Chains A and B, each alone.
Chain A
């Protein structure tokens, strides 16, 4: 909402405040002021001039040579506007004037002829082209009224105005009107404000002789008032109305249209003027539209209606979509003489539906949608009648023809000073509350500490105790609330174990050299289920799709974090950032339904993607590329950090390297996978060798045991034995380790692989794995024979299970 301060001044005394101070006060107390815009900055030497003569420039076809009387002198001015003519009263910027945009007017020679000033268009004076009356958009502005020659044009054209732009929240529809803003500002400044009464002088002829009103949908249209004004002369509206419209961002058109717009701005009540002679009947019938009924609206669009749309008809066909837009057939034009003026209240939801379905949002529909003041509907109609009398020579017919089932009763809200103070933490007195209500112009009956407040209907947003609490609080001033802390029983805040583990895992990975990332949960369909861990893929029917995505790029909820993580790697590699170690801890969305009806399971997963070098120390010629075992080491470290028993076996995954992918198991159950991305996918993504991991963080966290009983530090020596086993190359080291641990139990405490060898001195197809075995008993020193016995058992077991030979 654009508020002209010059207009506002007519209602409330704001002269003590600069526009900036006023804006600050309004922002703090009521409504956020988004900007403060002077129409034109300190304009001087801009006066009314009378064009005495206008001839063609001797050296230029499109320029005119004018003599202009500005009262104290006659200026010779060259003008390029096509609409300049002798006898006009125009705006002259004299030499020394500085127009908006820092445009300095000086004496100059144009094509050899002296020019002592400029005849101005409204745009040149700082008015937005969209608000300039159409007849002046391509040329200079010409006064239609009898203004004094030489007079300062600045006040005449309202160029000294300052506009404040209110950022209205949906509840403050009352301030979609100048009267509402005036009440608000008056309350803030503690100034009096009483709106003027409407003054209509009807003739004896009755409106009801020309029109009847019937409403078939009173739920959607509880009030419809029809005024009839005859002998109207359509023409330009007076300067002051045009100035106010322009200041409010509304382009002046003609007096009839301007007056309805003016009343809309002043009262917040949309009106509509029909040309009664073109109306097509003498009855107004308001009803729901029939399906596929048609109307051509003012913008010359044919629109198809249905029964959700409320229409005004002439008893036969629609003449307007209620509250949204009138029809072209009954539009007021230059020849209109008799006006049927509609002042009505339409149901907000109905207007919202029509406006949405037809893509028509207007000043009118916005106000109906947010709710208008039921006590201002008829008065707005009367105000328009008054203005039509005064500025369109209209004769208002007696009596408004009405359908009226409107509830105009105000809301009553009971408040007590005690309750207000309890909720605000203040010590406001009864007197102060009474004073605040007086400033707001809310009537009340006081009984001790209780106030029965009668809320004016213009404030439809105030009907609960809490609404009144807000009114009192904001006028009292939020700055005046004390700072306190809650007094209720305090609880120990803190992180849950789950939240602690999230932080622990992040800290571990970051300590290990990985960078945390956050990618989008919404991705394209092809990526949503790519690189999904088996246990997720087995359950999810398909990735969850949005009903109406904004783009295919963000249309599906991810089943794996990896595709977007890989996209991040690609992004970086394309920018020559080649060494990357990324991880993300976030949710994937698993729905087991074909067509989603329930919330999908949101599973917290820990995913990582790494490419390039892991370690580079150039001057020592050290370089270690990220490989399978770097990633595995990170996962093993994580398992150690959480103390959970992860195991691994070779596996095959789509889009993963078939020989370099492992599934990760926890207690025998798959919880994720890791390995190298398939070279084909790497190529597609312009990535070099790239490794990924994806783990179910929730399963890992569940296994985590925070309380761990103390384990005595071993006091007895351990015994270390090394063995080298020769096995088929198909044998997996991990399986042999398991066999060793099982066979050596309970004495064996640790197994470490310290060498893997294949090649010379070994048969083809064989490899040698060297293990270091650690034997220990926590309670005593082991005897050699015991270790010997256990060691033999191990050798027998690996021979039997893995055909392993001791390497000689």
Chain B
């Protein structure tokens, strides 16, 4: 009987191996392990065995049954896997075909620049202030030390609506308004926004453009603070290898007034056509807030001092990305707009 069982086992395991699909495997299972199968048959004949033999044969029969069952299970698994493999192979795609496009929009280049500047100054504790684009003559000029008839008003021919109202020519009126609003408290703010000047639109002029100005007023503000803040700004905006320099200039609302240059990126300060051989590129105007401006806004210029600066994001974008015509910013050619989505 032992031999019989062993034989059955060998025979069954062979058939399991030969089964080509799950159906054939099922047949093997029924044939050997089914109720009418040979192992059941063997077990039925156990009555004829001696008391000593019975448990031995019983155990062996169970072992054989288990072996066969394990073989079937394992075969079943590999058959299923093969079937899945086959199916998956058939489902193969051409991964090089283009995917279904997702609409990708993006910000305007000027917004990118503005937000970069904003975030940089926010990091230095500045607030962002906004103000009206239609301003009063008072805030646009007078509060900034530009009384009526002041020759420096010539520098910025303006779009007037009435004698007292005009499109702001700079965002400086927001500084004047903020100082009034702060009512003697320290100020740290920048004011980005649209400004307007009577210029004929061409490659370098636009009747509408953007400005960011900044103002810091407190006790004991020093010009070296201005230099430090602008240096931090310039290095973050244009790269840590850039140097800055200040040189004298004139604005009615600051004294001393300076212009800030950064070392030319193209030639690394050696002098090239971009920087007109000077090695420097003008980036912004700045200065210590004029005492008249402080006074008009209610700050005692003997106690308080401050600095202000102003820059043109269009110019910065033109320098940073080599945009060659300011009109690109306002024409909204999709081919221009899309170039800067990655910025």
Please list the residues of chain A having a beta carbon within 8 angstroms of any beta carbon in chain B: 20, 24, 27-32, 169-172, 348-349, 352, 369-370, 422-426, 464-467, 469-470, 473-474, 478-479, 481-496, 499, 503, 506, 509-522, 544-550, 554, 557, 568, 571-572, 575, 577, 580-583, 586-587, 589, 596-600, 602, 614-617, 619-620, 622
Instruction: Tell me the nearest residue of chain B to A595, going by C-beta.
Output: B162
- In the bound assembly, the distance between CA atoms of A28 and B280 in angstroms comes to 11
Q: Are B105 and A581 in contact (CB under 8 A)?
A: yes
**CB-contact partner of A30 in B110, B223, B248, under 8 A:** B248
Contact (A494, B122) CB under 8 Å given A547-B162, A581-B105, A596-B165: yes
- In the bound assembly, the distance between CA atoms of A486 and B187 in angstroms comes to 12
**CB-contact partner of B123 in A483, A493, A554, under 8 A:** A493
Q: In the assembled complex, which residues on chain A have CB atoms less than 8 Å from the CB atom of B255? A: 464, 466-467, 469-470
Interface positions, chain B 294-343, Cβ under 8 Å from A, are: 305, 329-335, 337-338
Number of A-B contacts (CB under 8 A): 250
Among B219, B248, B277, the one with the most A-chain Cβ atoms within 10 Å of its Cβ is B248
- In the bound assembly, the distance between CA atoms of A506 and B278 in angstroms comes to 40
Name the distance in Å between A565's Cβ and chain B's nearest Cβ.
8
Q: Are B101 and A24 in contact (CB under 8 A)?
A: no
Q: Are A596 and B248 in contact (CB under 8 A)?
A: no
Contact (A547, B250) CB under 8 Å given A466-B255, A493-B188: no
Q: In the assembled complex, which residues on chain A have CB atoms less than 8 Å from the CB atom of B159? A: 522, 546, 548-549
Instruction: Tell me the nearest residue of chain B to A503, going by C-beta.
Output: B115
Q: Are B288 and A513 in contact (CB under 8 A)?
A: no
**Complex A-B: 14 CB contacts under 8 Å:** A32-B259, A478-B248, A478-B258, A485-B124, A485-B225, A490-B125, A506-B107, A515-B105, A517-B108, A518-B108, A544-B134, A548-B160, A550-B200, A599-B132
Q: Are A514 and B105 in contact (CB under 8 A)?
A: yes
- In the bound assembly, the distance between CA atoms of A487 and B218 in angstroms comes to 9
- In the bound assembly, the distance between CA atoms of A610 and B305 in angstroms comes to 50
- In the bound assembly, the distance between CA atoms of A349 and B277 in angstroms comes to 39
- In the bound assembly, the distance between CA atoms of A534 and B122 in angstroms comes to 38
Name the distance in Å between B274's Cβ and chain A's nearest Cβ.
16
Q: Are B123 and A599 in contact (CB under 8 A)?
A: no
Q: Are B103 and A617 in contact (CB under 8 A)?
A: no
Instruction: Tell me the nearest residue of chain A to B218, going by C-beta.
Output: A488
Name the distance in Å between A273's Cβ and chain B's nearest Cβ.
28
Does any Cβ of A come within 8 Å of B79's Cβ? no
Known: A484-B224, A514-B103, A602-B132. 6 other contacts (CB 8 A): A425-B227, A485-B225, A491-B125, A515-B108, A520-B330, A544-B134
The stretch from B45-53, B65-73, B148-156 touching chain A is: B148-156
Q: Are A571 and B333 in contact (CB under 8 A)?
A: yes
**CB-contact partner of B100 in A509, A513, A617, under 8 A:** A617
- In the bound assembly, the distance between CA atoms of A469 and B259 in angstroms comes to 16
Q: Are A485 and B278 in contact (CB under 8 A)?
A: no
- In the bound assembly, the distance between CA atoms of A580 and B208 in angstroms comes to 24
**CB-contact partner of A28 in B108, B115, B247, under 8 A:** B247
Q: Are A29 and B332 in contact (CB under 8 A)?
A: no
Q: Are B248 and A31 in contact (CB under 8 A)?
A: yes
Chain B 87-103 interface 0/1 with A at a Cβ cutoff of 8 Å (1 = within): 00000000001101111
Q: Are A554 and B207 in contact (CB under 8 A)?
A: yes
Chain B 224-258 interface 0/1 with A at a Cβ cutoff of 8 Å (1 = within): 11011101100000000000011111100001111
Q: In the assembled complex, which residues on chain B have CB atoms less than 8 Å from the CB atom of A494? A: 122, 127
Q: In the assembled complex, which residues on chain A have CB atoms less than 8 Å from the CB atom of B305? A: 423
Among A170, A493, A620, the one with the most B-chain Cβ atoms within 10 Å of its Cβ is A493
Q: Are B122 and A602 in contact (CB under 8 A)?
A: no
Q: Are A32 and B247 in contact (CB under 8 A)?
A: yes
Q: In the assembled complex, which residues on chain A have CB atoms less than 8 Å from the CB atom of B40? A: none
Instruction: Tell me the nearest residue of chain A to B97, going by C-beta.
Output: A619
Does any Cβ of A come within 8 Å of B220's Cβ? yes
Name the distance in Å between A68's Cβ and chain B's nearest Cβ.
40
Instruction: Tell me the nearest residue of chain A to B112, going by C-beta.
Output: A516
Contact (A495, B128) CB under 8 Å given A426-B224, A521-B194, A622-B100: yes
Q: Are A493 and B121 in contact (CB under 8 A)?
A: yes
Contact (A517, B256) CB under 8 Å given A172-B250, A369-B151, A547-B160: no
Q: In the assembled complex, which residues on chain A have CB atoms less than 8 Å from the CB atom of B246? A: 478-479, 481
User: Interface size on B (CB < 8 Å)?
Assistant: 88
Name the distance in Å between A684's Cβ and chain B's nearest Cβ.
19
- In the bound assembly, the distance between CA atoms of A28 and B260 in angstroms comes to 10
- In the bound assembly, the distance between CA atoms of A495 and B164 in angstroms comes to 32
Instruction: Tell me the nearest residue of chain B to A370, going by C-beta.
Output: B151
**CB-contact partner of B245 in A465, A478, A487, under 8 A:** A478
Q: In the assembled complex, which residues on chain B have CB atoms less than 8 Å from the CB atom of A470? A: 248, 255-257
Q: In the assembled complex, which residues on chain A have CB atoms less than 8 Å from the CB atom of B103? A: 512-514, 581, 614-615
Instruction: Tell me the nearest residue of chain B to A616, going by C-beta.
Output: B101
Among A481, A494, A513, the one with the most B-chain Cβ atoms within 10 Å of its Cβ is A481
Q: In the assembled complex, which residues on chain B have CB atoms less than 8 Å from the CB atom of A580? A: 334
- In the bound assembly, the distance between CA atoms of A20 and B271 in angstroms comes to 12
Instruction: Tell me the nearest residue of chain B to A492, going by C-beta.
Output: B125
Q: Are A520 and B208 in contact (CB under 8 A)?
A: yes
Q: Are B111 and A170 in contact (CB under 8 A)?
A: no
Does any Cβ of A come within 8 Å of B212's Cβ? no
- In the bound assembly, the distance between CA atoms of A115 and B230 in angstroms comes to 63
**CB-contact partner of A489 in B126, B134, B160, B186, under 8 A:** B186
- In the bound assembly, the distance between CA atoms of A555 and B112 in angstroms comes to 29
Name the distance in Å between B188's Cβ and chain A's nearest Cβ.
6
Q: In the assembled complex, which residues on chain A have CB atoms less than 8 Å from the CB atom of B250? A: 169-172
Contact (A557, B134) CB under 8 Å given A488-B219, A513-B104, A581-B103: yes
Does any Cβ of A come within 8 Å of B58's Cβ? no
- In the bound assembly, the distance between CA atoms of A547 and B249 in angstroms comes to 32
Name the distance in Å between A143's Cβ and chain B's nearest Cβ.
36
Q: Are A485 and B151 in contact (CB under 8 A)?
A: no
Name the distance in Å between A678's Cβ and chain B's nearest Cβ.
22
Q: Are B223 and A486 in contact (CB under 8 A)?
A: no
Q: In the assembled complex, which residues on chain B have CB atoms less than 8 Å from the CB atom of A514? A: 103, 105
Q: Are A349 and B228 in contact (CB under 8 A)?
A: no
Q: Are B128 and A481 in contact (CB under 8 A)?
A: no
Name the distance in Å between B280's Cβ and chain A's nearest Cβ.
9
Instruction: Tell me the nearest residue of chain A to B216, going by C-beta.
Output: A486
Q: In the assembled complex, which residues on chain A have CB atoms less than 8 Å from the CB atom of B219? A: 488
Instruction: Tell me the nearest residue of chain B to A489, going by C-beta.
Output: B186
- In the bound assembly, the distance between CA atoms of A340 and B204 in angstroms comes to 48
Q: In the assembled complex, which residues on chain B have CB atoms less than 8 Å from the CB atom of A170? A: 151-152, 155, 250
Q: In the assembled complex, which residues on chain B have CB atoms less than 8 Å from the CB atom of A572? A: 332-334
Q: Are B337 and A516 in contact (CB under 8 A)?
A: yes
Q: In the assembled complex, which residues on chain A have CB atoms less than 8 Å from the CB atom of B256? A: 466, 469-470, 473-474
Does any Cβ of A come within 8 Å of B222's Cβ? yes
Interface positions, chain B 34-62, Cβ under 8 Å from A, are: none
Name the distance in Å between B95's Cβ and chain A's nearest Cβ.
14
**CB-contact partner of A522 in B155, B207, B220, under 8 A:** B207
Instruction: Tell me the nearest residue of chain A to B223, going by C-beta.
Output: A424
Name the distance in Å between A174's Cβ and chain B's nearest Cβ.
12
Q: Are A522 and B196 in contact (CB under 8 A)?
A: yes
Name the distance in Å between B175's Cβ and chain A's nearest Cβ.
16
Q: In the assembled complex, which residues on chain B have CB atoms less than 8 Å from the CB atom of A571? A: 331-333
Contact (A516, B108) CB under 8 Å given A491-B127, A554-B207, A572-B333: yes
Does any Cβ of A come within 8 Å of B142's Cβ? no
Name the distance in Å between B212's Cβ and chain A's nearest Cβ.
14
Q: In the assembled complex, which residues on chain B have CB atoms less than 8 Å from the CB atom of A520? A: 207-208, 330
Name the distance in Å between B170's Cβ and chain A's nearest Cβ.
16
Q: Are B337 and A515 in contact (CB under 8 A)?
A: yes
Q: Are B135 and A522 in contact (CB under 8 A)?
A: no
Contact (A483, B227) CB under 8 Å given A423-B222, A517-B332: yes
Q: In the assembled complex, which residues on chain A have CB atoms less than 8 Å from the CB atom of B222? A: 422-425, 484
Does any Cβ of A come within 8 Å of B221's Cβ? yes
Q: Are A510 and B105 in contact (CB under 8 A)?
A: yes
